[in-house]
Structure 1
Amino acid sequence: MDPFEEKLQRLKEAFDTGKTKTAKFRAEQLRSLGRFLQDSSKQLHDALHEDLGKVTKLSSAFIRKEPFGLVLIIAPWNYPLNLTITPLVGAIAAGNCVILKPSEISKNTEKVLAELLPQYLDQSCFAVVLGGPEETGQLLKHKFDYIFFTGSPRVGKIVMAAAAKHLTPITLELGGKNPCYVDDTCDPQIVANRVAWFRYFNAGQTCVAPDYVLCSQEMQERLVPALQNAITRFYGDNPQTSPNLGRIINQKHFKRLQGLLGCGRVAIGGQSDEGERYIAPTVLVDVQETEPVMQEEIFGPILPLVTVRSLDEAIEFIKRREKPLALYAYSSSVEVIKQVLAQTSSGGFCGNDGFMHMTLSSLPFGGVGSSGMGRYHGKFSFDTFSNQRACLLSCSGMEKLNGLRYPPYSPRRQQLLRWAMGSESCTLL
């Protein structure tokens, strides 16, 4: 019998109630912790005396942000320039040397980066390496001071395992199935305009795109014609001829997406052309949670609609799945938006909009759980690629002031030490 199972389950259930999230609860627990330290000071002092029993007086302290050293950046194919350059900017700003590994799938961008970028950067400090999975695996055998990876959770596990062998810190920017809740108070056309634009942008090959919609049966009936209207206005009567609709990256992904078209029932779109790697902007209805389109990140221009009977059911649906990279909620009620935000967890969140949160450099971007770890964008990129070194500087003179901390510890000195440790200038070691 697992001796930890009952205790872990109890704590998980308590967290799910939201008990720990309120400011009142946190303040109460911190006050209780303070009482513990105060009420138990003698017992703690005696125990520390038996174990270690030493104290230090602090001087001026600060954080020095230093470069890690040699950084590996592994970029994806869906935004092969943006998702290469953005982390590179942070790594350079923080003072690192960088090995840049663009995706071999976006081969044309890979070629340009490999041929031209070294002409602009100091080649003694920066390098671009090419290759597929085999070469990447060989590269990961080497020790780096930091690894930044953007890609799928499956490959992210491989990268993390390789980093663990050298205890290398890592940022993983992964994907996931991003939920989009739409309640009955919404204007369906406004929702359709925003959801369609974000879903079909870059042919749906965006890690933060809404991956499925949760709504009532009544809203679904209103939303489908609104989505058709938006798709027609955006891409015309024949989206295949639209210059504004992208194509699937390669045949492998096209075949995968073509297979997903068989899930549920096609309400809009569904057409495909293998020669052009074209998948029409598609909406699926009558989709079941167990179907393949709901089991993997779609990463294409396909939008499943899943019906729920209430907001609570929608939240439970979201919570029993892995934590997503982004979560979207549409409602004319601020309280509904706040409830979804409060009772779920995701890397990012938008109320009544699509992935605009990731365009703001003032906000950190990243995932949580299986959708990733670590944050970047703007100043957060600099922080990600910096070692936040804790520093303390003491005066070389005035040794009499330090006499209090040196043994032997007489009763009088112990009393003074306890008083000093109550101030912010000292800490217990």
Structure 2
Amino acid sequence: MEATRVEQIYARQRSHAPAMARTTAAERRRRLRRLRCAILARRREIVDAIYEDLRRPPFESEIAEIHNTLQEIDVAIRRLPRWMRPKRVRPTMLLAGTSSRLVFEPRGVVLIMAPWNYPFGLVINPLVAAIAAGNCAVLKPSEKAPATAALLESLIDEVCDASEAVVVQGGPEVAASLLELPFDHFFFTGGSHIGKIVMAAAARHLATVTLEMGGKSPAIVDASADVKAAAERIVWGKFFNAGQTCTAPDYVLVHATVADEFVSAVEQAAARLYGRDEAERRASPDFARIVDEPHFRRLVDLVERSVASGARVVIGGKWDAETRYVAPTVLSGVTPDAPVMEEEIFGPVLPILTYRDLTEAIMHARGHGTPLASYIFSRDKGVIGEFQRGVPAGGTLVNNTLLHYVSSELPFGGWGSSGMGAYHGYHGFLTMSHVRPVVRQREPALARFFYPPYRGRLHDLAQRVIRWLE
């Protein structure tokens, strides 16, 4: 798409933004209902498009993208009038004689840039928040998921006028053109390298920004944990969508006293979920494929170099370039300096490390920045509390993986190296809104006691009042 076309799209939305800002809760809810109906009508097409891009099992797409998105829409439709209602704020003593409230206003024109790993939900969920808050939105899906991007363009054209929401397809050149435009809010989901570019663009325009990135999300298995349950839940969380999930457990730190039991439980869990041997796992309809050749090669290289450095393949370690298949792979005997520990894996490779002291495990996890998620498996409340306090992360789950993403009641977002800002439910509405404080003066205005000249009886009284309030 030409840069001039991108500019025309932006200009059209910019001119329409004031009208969108004046929309009522009823009008916004109608837009959300139209979106919901379109998703339901084209549900099969959406799942098929995702399958074409990622060969992801249809059920995984249903629960991770369709159901989750419908839930976001339903929550917004049900609660939007309450969200939009101005909130009264109790005035402080110095503001006696005034009334205060918070008014929620749309930011204006929002740019939503989405990745390829969940190519439908990570476009539509932020859009739901943008519509609920009364914004116009330009949507940039990933060019690495072309079938889903084409379907998104068709679906949004069907539901929205281009002055309200529009899909812009294209590669890095189109993304660069979009980042040159002065959007009011930039919403980006993806890797930290591009996230820094988006943040720099937002800074140039003095715009607000939401960054949802990833990181090396640790899973710690304490000696008190239910080892069998921990193994099964980590295997599911890691190999869901072939590990191409920003909140997937990146690696496991297991207490040395239960390490052998855990490794055995992981083998058994992988056999139950994906097949008893490599032939069954490769043929399994329940396991996705890697998105493209560069990511496939990167994963193969990580495994090969890690094995060369001393890691042992427990299961997997196989691949097929033609179908971009990387087997569910578990590595034991992994050291902190192994190649597989150098970067976020973002694939179906699970390194297992051991620890003896919780402080050691916490320090190791802290050495990998601030991940989007952290996981602790333990029955010991003291251990759980120490882990939560010691390992900063966007979100934490105790005794499970991934589940916090699907809640519309919880803010989903990163912290530090995994991003900033949050969305889902009311938190998404707030992210896409400017919260304006409005103070109304009643008569008489007591503030006149604080006017110059700063001397005389009124001034002395004002000083006594201030000191009394302190």
- Give the structure-1-normalised TM-score: 0.83
Corresponding residue number in structure 2 for 1:123 = 162
Q: Deviations over 1:274-330 (max 9, x none)?
A: 111111111011212222211111111100011212111101111232011100011
What one-letter code is carried by the residue in structure 2 that aligns with 1:211?
D
Q: Please, which runs of 5 or more residues in structure 1 have no aligned partner?
A: 1-54
The 5 A counterparts of 1:82-121 are: 82-121=121-160
Matched, 1:170 2:215: no
Corresponding residue number in structure 1 for 2:390 = 343
SS at match of 1:73: strand
2:372 equivalent among 325, 350, 366: 325
Q: Distance in 1 between matches of 2:248 and 2:102?
A: 37
1:245 equivalent among 275, 287, 306: 287
Q: Which runs of 4+ in 1 moved over 4 A?
A: 55-58
Matched, 1:421 2:463: no
* 1:56 and 1:405 in contact (8 A); partners too: no
SS at match of 2:241: helix
Corresponding residue number in structure 1 for 2:454 = 409
Change (3 A) 1:387 1:58: farther
What one-letter code is carried by the residue in structure 2 that aligns with 1:177?
K
Q: Distance in 1 between matches of 2:402 and 2:460?
A: 58
1:398 equivalent among 444, 449, 456: 444
Matched, 1:311 2:353: no
Corresponding residue number in structure 2 for 1:77 = 116
Corresponding residue number in structure 2 for 1:203 = 242
Q: Distance in 2 between matches of 1:385 and 1:422?
A: 40
Q: Distance in 1 between matches of 2:458 and 2:174?
A: 63
Corresponding residue number in structure 1 for 2:100 = 61
What one-letter code is carried by the residue in structure 2 that aligns with 1:345?
P
SS at match of 1:276: coil
- 1:217 is displaced (CA, Å) by 3.3
What one-letter code is carried by the residue in structure 2 that aligns with 1:252?
P
Q: Distance in 2 between matches of 1:283 and 1:343?
A: 27
Q: Distance in 2 between matches of 1:243 and 1:410?
A: 83
Q: Distance in 1 between matches of 2:162 and 2:455?
A: 62
Q: Distance in 1 between matches of 2:145 and 2:326?
A: 19
What one-letter code is carried by the residue in structure 2 that aligns with 1:273?
D
- 1:185 is displaced (CA, Å) by 2.0
SS at match of 1:261: helix
The 5 A counterparts of 1:250-261 are: 250-261=292-303
- 1:423 is displaced (CA, Å) by 7.5
* 1:266 and 1:284 in contact (8 A); partners too: yes
What one-letter code is carried by the residue in structure 1 that aligns with 2:444?
M
* 1:70 and 1:96 in contact (8 A); partners too: yes
Corresponding residue number in structure 2 for 1:284 = 331
* 1:57 and 1:405 in contact (8 A); partners too: no
Number of corresponding residues: 369
RMSD, aligned α-carbons: 1.7
The 5 A counterparts of 1:171-190 are: 171-190=210-229
Q: Distance in 2 between matches of 1:74 and 1:417?
A: 53
SS at match of 2:300: helix
Q: Distance in 1 between matches of 2:199 and 2:97?
A: 37
Corresponding residue number in structure 1 for 2:420 = 373
Q: Please, which runs of 5 or more residues in structure 2 have no aligned partner?
A: 1-93
Q: Distance in 2 between matches of 1:56 and 1:349?
A: 40
SS at match of 2:437: strand
Change (3 A) 1:268 1:58: farther
Q: Distance in 1 between matches of 2:97 and 2:391?
A: 41
Q: Deviations over 1:13-52 (max 9, x none)?
A: xxxxxxxxxxxxxxxxxxxxxxxxxxxxxxxxxxxxxxxx
Matched, 1:154 2:196: no
Q: Distance in 2 between matches of 1:122 and 1:292?
A: 49
The 5 A counterparts of 1:345-364 are: 345-364=392-411
Q: Distance in 2 between matches of 1:389 and 1:316?
A: 41
Q: Deviations over 1:202-245 (max 9, x none)?
A: 10110001000012333221111111111111112221111111
- 1:118 is displaced (CA, Å) by 1.1
Q: Distance in 1 between matches of 2:240 and 2:447?
A: 64
What one-letter code is carried by the residue in structure 1 that aligns with 2:143?
E
SS at match of 1:322: coil
What one-letter code is carried by the residue in structure 2 that aligns with 1:416?
L
Q: Distance in 1 between matches of 2:289 and 2:370?
A: 28
Change (3 A) 1:300 1:423: farther
Change (3 A) 1:357 1:188: same
* 2:334 and 2:352 in contact (8 A); partners too: yes
- Give the structure-2-normalised TM-score: 0.76
What one-letter code is carried by the residue in structure 2 that aligns with 1:258?
V
* 1:285 and 1:305 in contact (8 A); partners too: yes
* 2:267 and 2:314 in contact (8 A); partners too: no
What one-letter code is carried by the residue in structure 1 that aligns with 2:329?
T
Q: Distance in 1 between matches of 2:236 and 2:448?
A: 69
What one-letter code is carried by the residue in structure 2 that aligns with 1:339?
E
